[in-house]
Amino acid sequence: ASSVEAYCRQHEISVSGDDVPAPFMTFESTGFSSEILREVHHAGFSAPTPIQAQTWPIALRSRDIVAIAKTGSGKTLGYLIPAFIHLKRLRSNNQMGPSVLVLSPTRELATQIQDEAVKFGRSSRISCTCLYGGAPKGPQLRDLDRGVDIVVATPGRLNDILEMRRISLRQVSYLVLDEADRMLDMGFEPQIRKIVKEIPTRRQTLMYTATWPKEVRKIAADLLVNPVQVNIGNID
Ligand code: ADP
Ligand code: MG
């Protein structure tokens, strides 16, 4: 317990919630599959980042999470690796629709997330596609029709495709709201709420934000169930 306390103090990790598991301070302690560990070593990573260390064991218990951390802290793999494990446990048929949905504020960020999912999910045979505005819908719809495990989307384009009834979110059981504060600043709250209405309430929801203002607290209270809150750094 004291090494956990020292680790959390050193990395400025604070957590609140029921039954919070200890962080995975090393990759060896994660129990990740050899496929995933191979990709991680291939990328040259020597240890989990603090947000990964603290959120991985929580996410693997299928708990909801709200994580407050600044950019560059490794949040993407923080939610993608548990998403891969979730998909493996589900063994769902992706022809029915994606099981994992990641909402991201911009095309650029969504594309980066997809790149990370493709790179780290390759040996686990995870498929991922990206939906964003400012590009023709045709190729995006064709990718969806082939069946994908993970959809990374900006709220505006996903909402358009939902209204066209070209995607079903009824299979989604793992929802990520990445950069939630930025999505709200960009005015995406109505689209986010419409999208979430299409997703079954029996799901795991993970929300990431750099800041913790009232609007973000409100949407977290509405969309998450008994979340564990993880803070990295000196944000109150
Ligand atoms: P954030 O979403 O918090 O801004 P990213 O997920 O984009 O951060 O990660 C920032 C960078 O750190 C990326 O280049 C990513 O590949 C790298 N990274 C992720 N996890 C680790 C790790 N455990 N060790 C070293 N680098 C990592
Ligand atoms: Mg990010």
pLDDT tens-digit profile of 189-224?
Answer: 999 999 999 999 999 999 999 999 999 999 999 999
What is the per-residue pLDDT for 2? Answer: 82
* Beta-carbon contacts of residue 155 (< 8 Å; ≥ 6 apart): 103, 183, 188, 191, 192, 195
Q: Which ligand is nearest to the CA of 116?
A: 1
Helices (H) and strands (E) in the chain, counts: 10, 8
- Look up tokens 């994660």; give the residue: 30
What is the per-residue pLDDT for 95? Answer: 87
Q: Evaluate if residue 236 carries a pLDDT over 60.
A: no
What is the per-residue pLDDT for 1? Answer: 61
d(CA 63, CA 79): 12
Which tens digits make up the pLDDT trace of 61-73? 999 999 999 999 9
Q: Are 177 and 206 in contact (CB under 8 A)?
A: yes
How many other β-carbons are positioned within 10 Å of the β-carbon of residue 71? 11
What letter represents residue 165's amino acid?
Answer: R
Q: Are 126 and 117 in contact (CB under 8 A)?
A: yes
Q: Residue 70 CA: which ligand 1 atom is closest?
A: 3
Mean per-residue pLDDT of the chain: 95
For residue 167, the CA-to-ligand 1 centroid distance in Å is: 30
CA angle 138, 150, 53 (to 5 degrees): 145
CA 221, chain centre distance (Å): 17
Tell me which of 41 and 236 has the higher pLDDT: 41
| % of residues, the chain, pLDDT over 70 | 98
Q: Evaluate if residue 235 carries a pLDDT over 70.
A: no
For residue 160, the CA-to-ligand 1 centroid distance in Å is: 31
Q: Are 206 and 79 in contact (CB under 8 A)?
A: yes
Q: Is the ipTM of this complex over 0.95?
A: yes
For residue 34, the CA-to-ligand 1 centroid distance in Å is: 20
110: left (phi over 0), alpha (psi -120 to 50) or beta: alpha
Q: Residue 45 CA: which ligand 1 atom is closest?
A: 24
Which tens digits make up the pLDDT trace of 89-133? 998 888 899 999 999 999 999 999 999 999 999 988 999 999 999
Confidence category of residue 234, pLDDT binned at 50, 70, 90: low
Task: At 94, give phi and psi (nearest 5°).
Answer: -75, -5
Closest CA to 192 of 133, 104, 122: 104
State pTM to two decimals.
Answer: 0.97
Nearest CA to ligand 1 atom 23: 48
Nearest CA to ligand 1 atom 13: 74
Q: Which ligand is nearest to the CA of 178?
A: 2
Pocket, ligand 1, Cβ cutoff 6 A: 45, 48-49, 52, 71-77
Q: Evaluate if residue 55 carries a pLDDT over 80.
A: yes
Q: Are 148 and 129 in contact (CB under 8 A)?
A: yes
Q: Residue 43 CA: which ligand 1 atom is closest?
A: 16
For residue 232, the CA-to-ligand 2 centroid distance in Å is: 14
What is the per-residue pLDDT for 94? Answer: 85
